């Protein structure tokens, strides 16, 4: 149930109804006018053990799925621009998206009978490539960019204060075609086809209202967001995000990930319980990296390559989750964890307690035309305030991180992901108010 308070049916069902008027269904149009609450159980603050691929991840709950949900293996992310000038179009689209997203999360077609139910003369409302596939832990997470609140849609008064563009960072090489966007949709699933199907169908529902600005596929997770998962590796071959905030750490989530009501007073109160999403497309010069000695690779990260243990650990006692000892010195008196290492610069102890929830994905997008793969990390982080958390962290990294020789940031965006939806709620009313 997506739009209980809306007297009108969704646009799609209105059209379907009209199209079939001679013979068939006024019913389709009436279906969504009733306003019966949805049955799905509310999602607890933190998810339990990762559900099997057969069992859907709950779509509704206190927070959106796809943030602390145990990171799925695949991702399709899309940034969109709104091309309609009509706020009503956008609100209606958000309601249609809620309905379709909830259905697809469940493993159902984007609309009832969407693949063949429209009969032979209409284009199918669901594109069909996920028809026989399991829910695959699909999560669909929506976010709104700063530009959405520029006054085109009467949303200026609802803009959260912390939702403004990220500053430039040293070494950035941002491509405008991979940066920004009025809104974003992140679809994660254990089956890539399920994630792509979700994004494709949501885009299709939006034609005439939105247009694709950029899109990113991630073929493998680089983060673990639950203690039930092993730490994944990035394309440099290192375990990434060992010290990530985990779903089980409720207090850290409240401090560092979820927007507190006191953060968003007044018109922006709709964002309480939400989270800011930072997206950075980080190109990795993997060919150069692969020619680097193991010693140098480990010094750059500050962890060993085999198990991901801090370099402060003695070689024979290496444990990924051992605490980092930044004071430990080697035989020559230099810090075992080098001063310019990634793990030191990004650590909360060096940043006044700042932490972030990372949820990134590895990508390869063809070639760079110079005989190399265009590969890297699609960095995604969820934070309570990007300007207080991600920005100082990235400024420290951009300034000193030895890793900078091997990477460049060429896409960037910030989105405000609203809180989860309760029974009967939809994204349109949530954003625009009733």
Partner 1 sequence: MTRSALALVPASVAIALTLTACGGGSDAKTADGKGPITVTANDTSCELDRTQAPAGTIEFTVSNKGTKVNEFYVYAAGDRIVGEVENIAPGLSRTFHVEVAEPGTYETACKPGMVGKGIRHDFTVTGASAAPKTDDAKLRAATASYARFVGSQSDALLARTTEFVGLVKAGKVDEAKALYPVARSYWERIEPVAESFGELDPKIDGRADVVDEGMKFTGYHRLEQDLWVNGLQADSSAIADQLLADVTTIVAEAKKVEFNGLQLANGSKALLDEMATGKITGEEERYSHTDLWDFAANWEGSKGAIAALRPVLQERNPELVASYDKRAAALDALVTKHQKGDGYQLYTELTPVEVRALSDALDAVAEDVSKVAGVVAAA
Backbone phi and psi for residue 139, each to the nearest 5 degrees, phi listed first: -125, 145
Residue 85 CB, nearest distance to partner 1 (Å)?
A: 10
Total of residues contacting partner 1 (CB under 8 A):
43
Q: If we measure between CA atoms, which residue out of 208, 193, 185, 227 comes closest to residue 380? A: 185
Burial (CB count <10 Å: 0-12, 13-18, 19+), residue 90: buried
- Binding of partner 1 by 352 (CB under 8 A): no
Residue 173 CB, nearest distance to partner 1 (Å)?
A: 19
- Binding of partner 1 by 193 (CB under 8 A): no
- Binding of partner 1 by 19 (CB under 8 A): yes
Q: Distance (Å, rounded) from C-alpha 305 to C-alpha 238?
A: 6
Q: Distance (Å, rounded) from C-alpha 136 to C-alpha 294?
A: 37
Residue 109 CB, nearest distance to partner 1 (Å)?
A: 8
Q: Distance (Å, rounded) from C-alpha 38 to C-alpha 58?
A: 12
- Binding of partner 1 by 116 (CB under 8 A): yes
Residue 95 CB, nearest distance to partner 1 (Å)?
A: 13
Residue 102 CB, nearest distance to partner 1 (Å)?
A: 8
Q: Which is nearer to partner 1, 135 or 338 (CB)?
A: 135
Q: Distance (Å, rounded) from C-alpha 125 to C-alpha 25?
A: 16
- Binding of partner 1 by 306 (CB under 8 A): no
Q: Of residues 210-229, which lie at the interface with partner 1 (CB under 8 A)?
A: 211
- Binding of partner 1 by 123 (CB under 8 A): yes
Q: Distance (Å, rounded) from C-alpha 279 to C-alpha 412?
A: 6
Per DSSP (E only), the strands in 60-189 are: 74-82, 139-144, 183-189
- Binding of partner 1 by 103 (CB under 8 A): yes
- Binding of partner 1 by 417 (CB under 8 A): no
Q: Which is nearer to partner 1, 120 or 371 (CB)?
A: 120
The residue assigned the tokens 């009832």 is: 112
Q: Of residues 143-172, which lie at the interface with partner 1 (CB under 8 A)?
A: none
Residue 421 CB, nearest distance to partner 1 (Å)?
A: 14
Cβ atoms of residues 160 and 384 within 8 Å? no
Residue 246 CB, nearest distance to partner 1 (Å)?
A: 30
Among 46, 51, 112, 433, which residue sits at the site for partner 1 (rule: CB under 8 A)?
112
Among 5, 27, 372, 405, which residue sits at the site for partner 1 (rule: CB under 8 A)?
27
Structure token digits, residue 2: 């997506």
Q: Return the range that interacts with partner 1 (CB under 8 A); candidates 206-214, 274-282, 303-311, 339-347.
A: 206-214
Q: What angle do CA 100, 275, 350 make, to 5 degrees?
A: 145
Q: Distance (Å, rounded) from C-alpha 264 to C-alpha 162?
A: 9
- Residue partners of 276: CB distance under 8 A and separation at least 6: 162, 163, 259, 382, 383, 384, 385, 386, 414, 415, 416, 417
The residue assigned the tokens 């989530």 is: 253
Among 6, 46, 108, 328, which residue sits at the site for partner 1 (rule: CB under 8 A)?
108
Residue 31 CB, nearest distance to partner 1 (Å)?
A: 5
- Binding of partner 1 by 88 (CB under 8 A): no
- Binding of partner 1 by 7 (CB under 8 A): no
Q: What angle do CA 173, 179, 180 make, to 5 degrees?
A: 145
Mark residues 30-59: x for contact with partner 1 by CB under 8 A, - for none: xx--x-xxxxx-------------------
Among 154, 208, 250, 323, which residue sits at the site for partner 1 (rule: CB under 8 A)?
208
Give the Å distances, CA to CA, from 416 to 149, 159, 229, 383.
11, 9, 27, 10
Q: Of residues 58-87, which lie at the interface with partner 1 (CB under 8 A)?
A: 83
Backbone phi and psi for residue 196, each to the nearest 5 degrees, phi listed first: -65, -40
Structure token digits, residue 425: 């709620």
Q: Return the range that interacts with partner 1 (CB under 8 A); candidates 163-171, 204-212, 334-342, 372-380.
A: 204-212
Task: Give me the helices (H) in 233-283, please.
Answer: 250-256
Q: Return the range that interacts with partner 1 (CB under 8 A); candidates 19-27, 156-164, 266-274, 395-403.
A: 19-27
Residue 374 CB, nearest distance to partner 1 (Å)?
A: 20
- Binding of partner 1 by 128 (CB under 8 A): no
Q: Which is nearer to partner 1, 108 or 322 (CB)?
A: 108
Handedness of CA 124, 129, 132, 138 (dihedral sign): negative
Q: Which is nearer to partner 1, 98 or 389 (CB)?
A: 98
Q: What angle do CA 125, 130, 132 make, to 5 degrees?
A: 115
Per CB under 8 A, residues contacting partner 1 are 1, 11, 14-15, 18-28, 30-31, 34, 36-40, 83, 103, 106-108, 112-113, 116-123, 204, 207-209, 211
């Amino acid at each position: 149930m997506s739009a209980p308070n809306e007297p009108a049916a969704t646009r799609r069902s209105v059209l379907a109804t009209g199209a079939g008027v001679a013979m068939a269904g006024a019913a389709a149009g009436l279906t969504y006018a009733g306003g019966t609450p949805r049955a799905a159980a509310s999602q607890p603050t933190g998810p339990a053990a990762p559900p099997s691929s057969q069992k859907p991840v709950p779509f509704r709950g206190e927070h959106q799925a796809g943030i602390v949900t145990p990171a799925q293996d695949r991702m399709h992310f899309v940034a969109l621009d709104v091309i309609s000038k009509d706020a009503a179009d956008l609100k209606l689209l958000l309601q249609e998206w809620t309905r379709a997203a909830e259905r697809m999360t469940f493993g159902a077609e984007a609309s009832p009978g969407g693949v063949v139910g429209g009969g032979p003369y209409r284009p199918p409302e669901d594109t069909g490539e996920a028809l026989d596939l399991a829910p695959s832990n699909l999560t669909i997470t929506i976010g709104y960019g700063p530009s959405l609140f520029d006054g085109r849609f009467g949303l200026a008064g609802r803009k959260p204060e912390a939702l403004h563009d990220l500053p430039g960072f040293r070494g950035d090489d941002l491509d405008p075609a991979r940066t920004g966007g009025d809104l974003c949709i992140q679809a994660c699933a254990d089956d890539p086809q399920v994630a792509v199907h979700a994004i494709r169908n949501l885009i299709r529902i939006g034609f005439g209202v939105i247009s694709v600005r950029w899109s990113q596929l991630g073929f493998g997770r680089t983060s673990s967001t639950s203690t039930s998962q092993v730490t994944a590796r990035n394309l440099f071959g290192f375990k990434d995000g060992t010290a990530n905030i985990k779903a089980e750490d409720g207090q850290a989530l409240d401090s560092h990930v979820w927007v507190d009501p006191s953060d968003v007073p007044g018109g922006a109160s709709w964002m309480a319980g939400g989270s800011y999403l930072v997206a950075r497309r980080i190109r990795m010069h993997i060919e150069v990296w692969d020619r680097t000695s193991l010693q140098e690779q480990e010094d750059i990260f500050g962890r060993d390559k085999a198990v991901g243990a801090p370099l402060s650990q003695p070689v024979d006692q290496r444990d990924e989750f051992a605490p980092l000892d930044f004071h430990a010195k080697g035989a020559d008196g230099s810090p075992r964890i080098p001063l310019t290492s990634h793990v030191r610069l990004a650590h909360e102890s060096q940043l006044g307690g700042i932490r972030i929830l990372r949820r990134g994905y590895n990508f390869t997008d063809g070639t760079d035309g110079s005989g190399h793969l265009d590969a890297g990390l699609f960095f995604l982080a969820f934070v309570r305030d990007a300007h207080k958390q991600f920005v100082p962290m990235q400024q420290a990294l951009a300034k000193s991180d030895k890793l900078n020789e091997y990477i460049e940031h060429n896409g960037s965006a910030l989105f405000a992901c609203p809180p989860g939806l309760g029974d009967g709620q939809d994204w349109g009313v949530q954003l625009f108010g009733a």
